[in-house]
């Protein structure tokens, strides 16, 4: 169990400036995207307006953060042996000016502390890492990008890159470190990536997640901020997957990738593999017709699973021109050809589309279609699977696909 200690923060403002590759670079205010949280009759809510842009959440005062965690402890089950405080925020937690103050306060409760995503750009003195460890920090998720100090300075805008790397080394030697690197082609891939992996392994890091650099709208830049870096063509999905497998073979680190893949657990969509086909026998039978709208990454996997459960004659999959299903927007739906879309449409649960607008889009050819939302997730990406076992992934996927099948059978057109 984790108790979230949200310290707030705004990308670019509370992290000592944007990294060159940052997803939030160039984001501007704009119209709400629409989502499942919007109230009936009104497009827009905190989630799909300010929330997705993360532009309105300044750093939170330390007494509020401490009080919130204390309240959670009082209301929860303190006997949980796996209880942990996870310090996270919209900015960079290492830049939170009261970080040592709140970790010192948390240390009195003898609960392990996890530092959520940090780039270390807020660490000017490696001793800070030692102080945090003495306060009970036993897990850190650290964006390293590269162990080359000059590269960190150039690409991350790190004002004290060597101190940040020295702090990372101290963390690696004393606690569980899950490192992360956004991979920019021709910059920190190839030999540079091997050098980073070798150094992390030498220092004692536990894991490394490789994150494909996104530069275009269909790779997730849905906030009008493409391209992040002009002239850079990100790795193709196939190139990136091959890179993850290559690094995994060479190093003892727990290697995962996002949006693909996890060589150890076979995520995402481990249940699509022939060797796991027997697990699909526990799923309910598909009895209704529907169309599933998904992403370019997920669609082939979903099709294979539907074929395995003998449902492909009833359910077809239409892929939007978007790599991540959760980031499908109204624009993506408007670009779909409705020729093969059935009378019932299942869209991703977290898609950024207003429900009523989705119904209008799918009925624009004169066929009145029912639009429903499926589960929020059908699998897990490398950010989550890196802490899960193969059995955990399979269980998560089976639960999600059972929910999906139930939605199909409930909302779809019944077939005898």
Mean pLDDT of the chain: 95
* Cα–Cα distance list, 355 to 48, 137, 250, 342 (Å): 13, 43, 46, 17
| Model pLDDT, residue 1 | 80
Summarised one tens digit per residue, pLDDT across range 167-188 is: 999 999 999 999 999 999 999 9
pLDDT at 79 over 90: no
Summarised one tens digit per residue, pLDDT across range 308-325 is: 999 999 999 999 999 999
Round to whole Å and give the CA distance between 180 and 292. 32
φ/ψ of 110, rounded to 5, equals: 55, 40
The residue to which tokens 């057109």 are assigned? 413
Burial of 157 (0-12, 13-18, 19+ CB in 10 A): middle
Find the mean pLDDT for residues 6-34.
93
- Contact indicator for 8, 89 with CB cutoff of 8 Å: yes
77 pLDDT band, cuts 50/70/90, is low
* Cα–Cα distance list, 85 to 8, 92, 285 (Å): 15, 16, 41
pLDDT at 190 over 70: yes
SS3 at position 410:
helix
Summarised one tens digit per residue, pLDDT across range 125-162 is: 999 999 999 999 999 999 999 999 999 999 999 999 99
| Model pLDDT, residue 400 | 97
17 pLDDT band, cuts 50/70/90, is very high
Find the mean pLDDT for residues 409-413.
96
Residue 220, token pair as written in the block: 């997730």
pTM of the full predicted structure? 0.93
Summarised one tens digit per residue, pLDDT across range 229-277 is: 999 999 999 999 999 999 999 999 999 999 999 999 999 999 999 999 9
| Model pLDDT, residue 295 | 97
| Model pLDDT, residue 81 | 65
Q: Which of 51, 137, 62, 126 is nearest to 96 (CA)?
A: 62
Find the mean pLDDT for residues 111-123.
94
74 pLDDT band, cuts 50/70/90, is confident
pLDDT at 78 over 60: no
């Amino acid at each position: 169990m984790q108790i979230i200690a949200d310290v707030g923060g705004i990308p670019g403002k509370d992290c000592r400036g944007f990294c060159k590759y940052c997803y939030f670079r160039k984001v501007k205010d704009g119209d709400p995207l629409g989502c499942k949280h919007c109230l009936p009759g009104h497009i827009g809510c905190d989630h799909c307006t300010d929330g997705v842009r993360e532009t309105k959440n300044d750093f939170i005062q330390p007494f509020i953060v401490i009080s919130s965690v204390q309240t959670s402890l009082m209301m929860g089950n303190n006997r949980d042996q796996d209880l942990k405080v996870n310090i996270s925020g919209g900015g960079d937690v290492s830049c939170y000016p009261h970080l040592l103050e709140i970790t010192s306060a948390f240390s009195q409760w003898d609960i392990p502390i996890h530092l959520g995503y940090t780039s270390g750009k807020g660490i000017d003195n490696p001793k800070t890492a030692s102080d945090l460890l003495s306060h009970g920090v036993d897990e850190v998720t650290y964006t390293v990008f590269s162990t080359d100090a000059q590269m960190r300075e150039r690409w991350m805008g790190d004002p004290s890159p060597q101190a940040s790397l020295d702090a990372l080394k101290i963390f690696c030697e004393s606690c569980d470190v899950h490192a992360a690197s956004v991979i920019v082609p021709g910059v920190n891939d190839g030999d540079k990536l091997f050098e980073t992996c070798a150094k992390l392994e030498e220092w004692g890091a536990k894991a490394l997640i490789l994150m494909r650099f996104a530069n275009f709208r269909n790779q997730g830049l849905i906030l009008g901020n493409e391209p992040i870096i002009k002239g850079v063509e990100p790795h193709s999905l196939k190139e990136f997957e091959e890179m993850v497998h290559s690094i995994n073979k060479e190093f003892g680190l727990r290697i995962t990738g996002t949006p693909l893949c996890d060589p150890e657990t076979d995520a995402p969509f481990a249940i699509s593999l022939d060797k796991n086909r027997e697990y699909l026998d526990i799923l309910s039978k598909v009895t209704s017709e529907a169309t599933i709208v998904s992403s370019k990454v997920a669609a082939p996997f979903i099709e294979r699973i539907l074929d395995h459960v003998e449902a492909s004659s009833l359910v077809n999959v239409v892929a939007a021109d978007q790599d991540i299903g959760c980031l499908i927007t109204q624009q993506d739906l408007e670009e779909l050809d409705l020729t093969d879309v059935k009378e019932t449409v299942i869209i991703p649960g977290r898609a950024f589309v207003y429900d009523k607008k989705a119904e209008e889009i799918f009925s624009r050819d004169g066929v009145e279609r029912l639009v429903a939302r499926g589960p929020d997730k059908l699998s897990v990406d490398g950010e989550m699977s890196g802490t899960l076992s193969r059995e955990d992934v399979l269980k998560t996927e089976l639960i999600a696909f059972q929910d999906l099948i139930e939605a199909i059978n409930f909302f779809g057109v019944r077939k005898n």
